[in-house]
Amino acid sequence: CRYDGTSRENSKVKYLAKEFDLIPVCPETLGGLPTPRPGAEIESGDGIDVLKGKTRVVDMTGHDVTACFIEGAKRTLQIIKENAVHRVILKSKSPSCGVKNIVRNGQKISGSGVTAALLRYEGISLEEFD
What pLDDT is attached to residue 13? 86
At position 94, the amino acid (one-letter code) is S
How far CA 88 is from CA of 45, 66, 74, 111, in Å, comes to: 23, 22, 14, 17
What 3-state DSSP class applies to 41? strand
What pLDDT is attached to residue 9? 84
pTM for the model? 0.94
What pLDDT is attached to residue 5? 86
What pLDDT is attached to residue 86? 86
What pLDDT is attached to residue 7? 84
d(CA 75, CA 58) in angstroms, rounded, equals 20
Domain borders along the chain are: 11-129
- Stretches in the chain below the pLDDT threshold 70: none
At position 80, the amino acid (one-letter code) is I
Q: 7-27 pLDDT, tens per residue?
A: 888 888 889 899 999 999 999
What pLDDT is attached to residue 64? 99
What pLDDT is attached to residue 112? 98
